[in-house]
């Protein structure tokens, strides 16, 4: 059996939030390399130029839209606009997120609301808007949420973030159960330790790096290429019978603790 066609996204239409850099940018590029046309969003539309160029270099169509996922009215507008422009929407990658490393005794309500609303509330309303279009077009689809190691384990100084990502894991499972009858699969990816702008505060500490590498069986941090196969798998027909699952991409960290 030739498995290659199962991973082919030719003709599929995708939307990736928070795609101006880091993980979102890498996932958008991976989807386009597999054949999908990809719309990308960020709060500043101008910051998406590099991502759009990478998608175009794959010979795919790209759309750039400004979106702050705290604005639920704007979410609906952007999702409908992308679906109308592409003709439909097959894939949503819920990547937009926010983290602030801070001792829990110093967390105030504004910080809590910003993190939890971005990572959990924003993800839900993006998923809802996408699912409405997928259901209306009767084509089904794949929704991929970006969870975290903090969906599974407690990380000091990341309590609001961990709370939001734990909630996102629960949301992934509940939506998968509810939307299966609509032909919509909902899964998640839990990246391990990847050096991004959002996690840079940790990587500034050499002692932290040494201690963390000792906990990762593969003895290295993740690279953006490590996430490409995971997102293509969950977006494609290769995972047609997979829903409600969270795939850790962590070098074995969770398996070894």
Tens digits of per-residue pLDDT, 234-252? Answer: 999 999 999 999 999 999 9
Res 39: pLDDT: 98
Which option is the CATH number for 4-199+224-250: 3.30.420.130, 3.10.450.710, 3.40.50.720, 1.20.1070.10? 3.40.50.720
User: Does the global pTM surpass 0.85?
Assistant: yes
Q: Span 221-229, mean pLDDT?
A: 96
Per-residue confidence at 84, pLDDT binned at 50, 70, 90? Answer: very high
Q: Which of 152, 161, 193, 253 is catalytic?
A: 161
Structure letter (DSSP) for residue 21: S
Per-residue confidence at 1, pLDDT binned at 50, 70, 90? Answer: low
Nearest Cα to Cα of residue 39 among 27, 50, 28: 28
Spatial separation of the C-alpha atoms in residues 42 and 217, rounded to whole Å: 34
- Say if residue 90 is exposed, middle or buried (CB neighbours under 10 Å; 0-12, 13-18, 19+): buried
Ranges of beta strands (E only) in 115-196 are 141-146, 184-191
Lowest-confidence region among 141-145, 194-198, 222-226: 194-198
In the chain, domain spans: 4-199+224-250
Is 161 assigned a catalytic role? yes
Spatial separation of the C-alpha atoms in residues 72 and 68, rounded to whole Å: 8
């Amino acid at each position: 059996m030739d498995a290659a066609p199962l991973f082919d996204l030719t003709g599929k239409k995708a939307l990736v939030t928070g795609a101006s850099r880091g993980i979102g940018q890498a996932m958008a590029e991976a989807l386009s390399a597999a054949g999908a046309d990809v719309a990308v969003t960020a709060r500043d539309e101008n910051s998406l130029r590099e991502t759009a160029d990478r998608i175009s270099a794959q010979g795919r169509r790209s759309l750039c839209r400004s979106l702050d996922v705290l604005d639920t009215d704007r979410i609906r507008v952007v999702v409908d606009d992308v679906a109308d422009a592409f003709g439909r929407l097959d894939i949503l990658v819920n990547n937009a997120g926010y983290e602030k490393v801070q001792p829990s005794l110093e967390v105030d309500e504004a910080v809590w609301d910003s993190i939890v609303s971005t990572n959990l509330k924003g993800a839900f309303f993006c998923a809802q808007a996408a699912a409405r279009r997928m259901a209306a077009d009767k084509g089904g689809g794949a929704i991929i949420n970006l969870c975290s190691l903090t969906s599974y384990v407690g990380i000091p100084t990341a309590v609001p973030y961990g709370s939001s990502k734990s909630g996102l894991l629960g949301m992934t499972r509940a939506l998968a159960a509810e939307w299966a009858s609509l032909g919509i699969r909902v899964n998640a990816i839990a990246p391990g330790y990847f050096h991004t702008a959002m996690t840079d505060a940790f990587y500034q500490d050499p002692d932290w790096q040494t201690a963390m590498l000792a906990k990762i069986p593969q003895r290295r941090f993740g690279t953006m290429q490590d996430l490409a196969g995971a997102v293509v798998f969950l977006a494609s027909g290769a995972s047609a019978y997979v829903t409600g699952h969270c795939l850790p991409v962590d070098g074995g960290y969770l398996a070894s603790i």
